[in-house]
Structure 1
Amino acid sequence: MTTANVPGRAVKGCAHPSGCHTGTLPIYASATVGARLWLLIEHAGPWASHLEDCRLPEDVHTLIKRAASLGIRPQLIRRPDRRPPSGQGIHVMVADSTAPRPWIAEGVVASADDLDLDALMAGVLPESCILVSEPVFLVCTHAKRNACCARIGLPLARSLAEVLPDRVWETSHVGGDRYAANLVCLPHGLYYGSMSQAAAIAAADAYRSGEVILDRFRGRAGIPEPLQAAEHFVRAHTGELSVGGVAAESSRSDGDVTEVIVLGGDARFRVVVEPMTLPTPCGTACADTITTYRLVALDRLAPVLYATPVLT
């Protein structure tokens, strides 16, 4: 286990390069539940272990605090080649992963007061931003949070940026250090983990084509983990890989067991899942165990038949 000290914080790391981060353990249903709305702020660094400890301009700290208070997920981002931000002002991106048609926009603001986060909360494009049509890819390289994120994430971010210039960003902690290297695809908030460079390129290409790859797919952020598991099992059962082709419609829980109704392609399914815990092969600071979900039942529901009205 590797640890290092920073002011008031501890840095975790994994001493086993071939242990937790190979994709051999199940990682589905582990996307960050609270990541529904996003605020990305370009800052070349350095980054402390937690955003509130970073040496940042006061306006950036204000944006981070305001976003966190509203339930918007703030992330610091920087270019993989570590180019400093160009021009004046604060380069920001905002995204809504829960909209019927998820979107991402960007802009440059002179101060924190120039970015209307209340509009983002309402699902409205802030006036200071413009929509962008190309997806954005975030690779966690937050070394001060976990050494493995930098050890594995940095070369991945750089290789992916060579294929997709200007669409790939290093980012601060996205959740799930044990799944490094982590890749997030915006605006839909799709999480991948334990990524190799080849796997990241394949996942990015699939996303740009409107599809997911189930290998190393952590799930869709912003929804509870049992629902992520249910969506995963429906995709695996049906082969439906389009980004919007599978969605949890409703759920109910009884203790640890969760029943989810999932739309998958042109059918609906009743999926029952329950949590289970597995030991990791390395047992380090990254993770002694992981919690995932077991499929209890998956049944295709009969289509709802509507009576034809009688005309009189």
Structure 2
Amino acid sequence: MPTFASATVGAKLWLLIEYSGAWPSHVDDGTLPPKISELISRAVARGVRPQLIRRPGRRTRPQEQGIRVLAGYAIGDNPWLAGGVIAGPDDLDLDALVAGVVPESCILEDEPVFLVCTHAKRNACCARIGLPLARGLAEFLPDRVWETSHVGGDRYAANLVCLPHGIFYGSMSQAAALAAANAYRSGEVILDRFRGRAGIPEPLQAAEHFARTHTGECGLGGVAVESARSDGDVTEAIVRIGDVRIQVVVEPSVFQAPCGTACAEKITTYRLVSLDRLTPVRYATPALT
């Protein structure tokens, strides 16, 4: 089942909120404790993606004094993640996050964070497949793995998100999740089960995927869409990889999921229409002095 070009488009800014109590089917429905609900409402109003998180397998862990949060800026080549414990919503400057500035109540994290969707009330598949994966991955990466609420794409359970870049993987096994996490820590992606990077339109995720597949480029920052235009359902993108530009043309395609695939019958994906390598990037020769 194809997973590429399916990362959540509307997630460039993240707010992870630790909450060990029961998660409602929709985190923004106002049924959580008042401080948590207000924090979520403020995030949503500013275009920040709120996620509830908890440590794998620790259902009875008492809530510590204050609210543990992680703020993530997943835009551009230098994304960041910062964490802290706040007394209430007024103690977290979300406007700073929107501006790309670390809030004063948070400290930059020096290691990535890995989220596994285990949101049973949103979709049973995520809990059934995600729970054991989260617990298994946490054994290898203690204190860097969190269970999380709905991330989008239940049909791809188990889903793994790598922050701060917002790299999505789907249909993960224990071995695949560990390989993807280790690759991310080394500054690379693995194309197998790679869904894409959040915050990027799906046709451009597809263009990046086909460019990576064609060249074998796996570096996190090794691929960039320089320009794109659409004509109906067809999207043409110019993708830059190193000193080479590639013209990639894609269009939507419906994929019939295999019999027995969890939570899905048909999946909309993208088909490669054409891929052409253009002339290398030309750099001006500096004048001799």
> Share of identical aligned residues, percent?
74
CA RMSD of aligned residues (A): 1.8
Residue equivalent to 1:62: 38
- 3-state secondary structure, aligned to 2:275: strand
- 3-state secondary structure, aligned to 2:165: coil
1:74 Cα shift? Answer: 0.3
Residue equivalent to 1:14: none
Query: Does the aligned pair in 2 maintain the 1:85–1:91 contact within 8 Å?
Result: no
| Equivalent of 1:227 in 181, 191, 204 | 204
1:283 Cα shift? Answer: 7.2
* Distance change >3 Å, CA 57–CA 266, structure 1 → 2: same
1:85 Cα shift? Answer: 5.4
- 3-state secondary structure, aligned to 2:280: coil
Name which of structure 1's ranges 295-304 and 187-196 shifts more when overlaid on structure 2: 295-304
Name the aligned partner's letter for residue 80 of structure 1.
Answer: P
CA–CA distance in 2 between the matches of 1:109 and 1:298?
49
Query: Does the aligned pair in 1 maintain the 2:56–2:146 contact within 8 Å?
Result: yes
Query: Does the aligned pair in 2 maintain the 1:92–1:109 contact within 8 Å?
Result: yes
Residue equivalent to 2:195: 218
C-alpha offsets along residues 77-105 of structure 1, whole Å, 9 cap, x if unaligned?
00002163563100000101113301000
| Equivalent of 2:20 in 24, 39, 44 | 44
Name the aligned partner's letter for residue 76 of structure 1.
Answer: L
Name the aligned partner's letter for residue 78 of structure 2.
Answer: R
- 3-state secondary structure, aligned to 2:225: strand
| Equivalent of 1:209 in 186, 190, 193 | 186
Name which of structure 1's ranges 264-273 and 195-204 shifts more when overlaid on structure 2: 264-273
* Distance change >3 Å, CA 283–CA 256, structure 1 → 2: farther
- 3-state secondary structure, aligned to 2:95: helix
CA–CA distance in 2 between the matches of 1:162 and 1:185?
17
Consecutive unaligned residues of structure 1, counting only runs of 5 or more, are 1-24
Residue-pair matches, total: 287
TM-score (ref. length: structure 2)? 0.95
Mapping of residues 21-32 of structure 1, within 5 Å:
25-32=1-8
TM-score (ref. length: structure 1)? 0.88
Query: Does the aligned pair in 2 maintain the 1:149–1:177 contact within 8 Å?
Result: yes
Consecutive unaligned residues of structure 2, counting only runs of 5 or more, are none
Query: Does the aligned pair in 2 maintain the 1:47–1:54 contact within 8 Å?
Result: no
Query: Does the aligned pair in 1 maintain the 2:243–2:280 contact within 8 Å?
Result: no
Mapping of residues 117-132 of structure 1, within 5 Å:
117-132=94-109
CA–CA distance in 2 between the matches of 1:30 and 1:141?
18
C-alpha offsets along residues 276-307 of structure 1, whole Å, 9 cap, x if unaligned?
00121237882221011011111112134466
